[in-house]
Structure 1
């Protein structure tokens, strides 16, 4: 209801001829679709089960240095995320939930949203300027409208766990487009420590860096990404390898001892429901799709932010559609990457080589006219 009223008010404000009409429209949509419902849900304690899982993982990390229970008794006790996701549950573990302020500040959704918006702000700030696509007022309004859209507003209010992953992947691709290998690797490491579905982004970002003409930068970015991910994941993997494999890898694809709630009627899920042969067929198709995307990176590597985001979005869509277990909500991640890349793509086009610019900017020397030979 709040979102409907916000969208209705935004539509009315957008029809106004006042100069501030667009700003009022965007902020009305953000308030109705994000701020009001998020505050109400947080204060009343209503949320999807993922929020409780993340907050419990933060508490377990403080107590036993690993977010995984050794012997889960129910699905809600399973932690299907890599250890980095527990960071967003630490505020709840520290503050508790005794008073309204603690419930508000400790809610994992708030910190997931802040991580997403922080990544977004970092990319847009680096792309700022009145002449860039993102620096213009129109595109700032478009970004605000996208945040207020159901693609972002709904998961932000009820769950939020995929938003940090989306923001970090967007930041990593933007850094790769700007030829910043270390920043790219750090953003990738942070994303890959949240969910293993972020791992294909390493190949896309490294290919984009290599296509910029700097193989050393690509190797540096990939090394930072892989090393940073190992540094963040290995402590929990060494302390509880069995629970990590069962809960993070086996459970999401329907091969664990617990039935996953991710059961949307997507092609991979429908195949897996046919039995062992159907499950193997879904995995084979998933592997073939992943191989096709990998080959496309070699045959036609992405050359800018939009192309890289599109390639990663295609790979993620293939994975989500053909996985033995999945849900429609997962498709919001590739959609968000494709939209955000287009909002920021104009500011991350490949810059000309400095030397060529200098030579072209020098005034041309006058060429002496040929001297005609006269008759003596």
Structure 2
């Protein structure tokens, strides 16, 4: 009798545990938002924090109500018992509302000032919009640092690949009046790209049920919500990156390589994903010829990357090298301001020896990732995304110059991995008929 009752008790306790987890998650997010609202030096961050306090506070209060109801065994109305209500509160109050206010506030004109306490958009927004204007006028999105006639400053740099310029084209082409400037703010373009990529990936996976925990990691996490409101390019890039894995999982290696070329040609930080995707495409190939599938992936990746970079490089090789390669590596005429207190940066603070140690640790992490890929090649999209999240997370944590905001990449990728897993098995059955023990 006791054995029969134990599973029932476990099932009864599950709603309590789930609601309690939601409560802890949203309370942690609430604390982050409150600290940001009170202490951040950036105007946009503080505005986001004030809105986000309301969004996370409402989600936490709702989760507390669900927890109490579950503990008391109360039956809640189906319309008001969904955990997605908390996600909705975050999307409306911590993402859309602050973005709208900051877009309007930006019309008062605070771009290009060295005054973080007045920025309604982070510098990457203005820089990307400027890059589009430069591309249309001069054939290159990069400022010629050597021709400035003055000492360069950090805002002169565009540390992105040429594809990132696309998000600034609407402003460059149609901006000019307050209404058009508001409608063509690059943040709308970043948000639209992220949403469309997420939707396309979901369709490619045959519309799986999205776990709430996956949405909490990928959408409701403060790093995602904050990035959505004040900047946004990283969300567009990680959205495209998820799409590359969805295309590979849907047996479209050529398209996967092409989209990955777009991603790498926008931001080089995601280049390590190419190794994971190549192994995944080889492992997954259903046509019986994994080398052919991997070849299509590699050919599309290489051809598109060259086609996207070469014209811009030839327009001004020195400017391209300075902006895209030297500046992100800390070797430019101006040092990158990326200096969040993550392990790699803290180690590098010890001087040249510390920088060397940090770079060695990055190398060790890269070798460890390659060994992991070789010994346990991913056979599902979920496994491939998990490996990419771990690899990018290690790179972000250990590199000497970094920002904590980049951690949005592994968080979104882990959330996507949970959704890929919910879509069901996607690996090709092993030829020997045995279960694959390496795909998790």
TM-score, normalising length from structure 2? 0.74
Tell me, yes or no, if the aligned pair for 2:217 and 2:412 is still in contact at 8 Å: no
* Conservation of the 8 A alpha-carbon contact between 2:244 and 2:259: yes
Instruction: State the match for 2:115 in structure 1.
Output: none
The correspondence for 1:221, drawn from 269, 286, 297, is: 297
After superposition, what is the alpha-carbon deviation per residue over 1:189-239, rounded to whole angstroms, capped at 9, x for unaligned?
110111111211111111001112422111111211121111111111121
Cα displacement string for residues 313-341 of structure 1 (whole angstroms, at most 9, x for unaligned residues): 12112211221211111111112101111
Kindly report which structure 2 residues correspond to 1:1-376, keeping only aligned pairs within 5 A, or say none: 1-13=50-62, 15=65, 17-21=76-80, 22=82, 24-45=85-106, 46-71=120-145, 73-99=152-178, 101-129=179-207, 132-134=208-210, 139=211, 143=215, 146-213=218-285, 214-347=290-423, 349-350=425-426
1:29 and 1:146 map into 2 onto residues whose CA distance is 12
Question: Kindly tell me: are residues 146 and 265 of structure 1, through their superposed partners in 2, closer, same or farther at Cα, counting changes over 3 Å?
Answer: closer
**1:145 Cα offset (Å):** 8.2
Deviation above 6 Å: which 4+ runs of structure 1?
Answer: none
Structure-1 separation of matches of 2:131 and 2:340: 26
CA–CA separation in structure 2 for the residues paired with 1:114 and 1:83: 19
Post-superposition offset of 1:141: 9.2
SS in 1 for 2:332: coil
Distance (whole Å) between structure 2 residues aligned to residue 49 and residue 255 of structure 1 = 20
Separation in structure 2 between the aligned mates of residue 313 and residue 74 of structure 1, nearest angstrom:
33
Given that 1:251 and 1:260 are in contact with CA atoms closer than 8 Å, whether structure 2 keeps it comes out as yes
Identify which range, 265-274 or 48-57, moves more after superposition: 265-274
Assess, with a 3 A threshold, how the Cα gap between structure 1 residues 77 and 310 changes in structure 2: closer, same or farther. same
Q: Contact 2:161 / 2:268 at 8 angstroms: preserved in 1? A: yes
Structure 2 unaligned segments of length 5 or more: list them: 1-49, 67-75, 107-119, 433-440
C-alpha distance in structure 1 between counterparts of 2:318 and 2:363, whole Å: 24
Shift of 1:175: 1.7
The question of whether the paired residues in 1 share the 8 Å contact of 2:204 and 2:247 is answered with no
User: Cα–Cα, structure 1 residues 296 and 351, in superposed 2: closer, same or farther, change >3 Å?
Assistant: closer
For the structure 1 residues 144 and 274, does the alpha-carbon distance in structure 2 shift closer, same or farther, using more than 3 Å as the test?
A: closer
| 1:42-62 Cα shifts (integer Å, max 9, x gaps) | 111111111111111111111
Q: Distance in 1 between matches of 2:367 and 2:133?
A: 39
Q: Deviations over 1:241-267 (max 9, x none)?
A: 212222222212222111211011223
Across the two proteins, how many residue pairs are aligned to each other?
349
Judged with a 3 Å threshold, the aligned counterparts in structure 2 of structure 1 residues 294 and 155 are, in CA distance, closer, same or farther, namely same
User: Which of 1 and 2 has greater Rg?
Assistant: 1
In 2, Cα distance between equivalents of 1:142 and 1:18: 24
- Deviation at residue 82 of structure 1 after TM alignment: 0.6
1:152 and 1:84, CA in 2 relative to 1: closer, same or farther beyond 3 A?
same
CA distance in 2, matches of 1:320, 1:263: 11
Is 112-121 or 304-313 further displaced after alignment?
304-313
TM-superposed deviation, 1:286: 1.7
Equivalence for 1:372? none
Q: Is the 8 A contact 1:252 1:262 kept in 2?
A: no
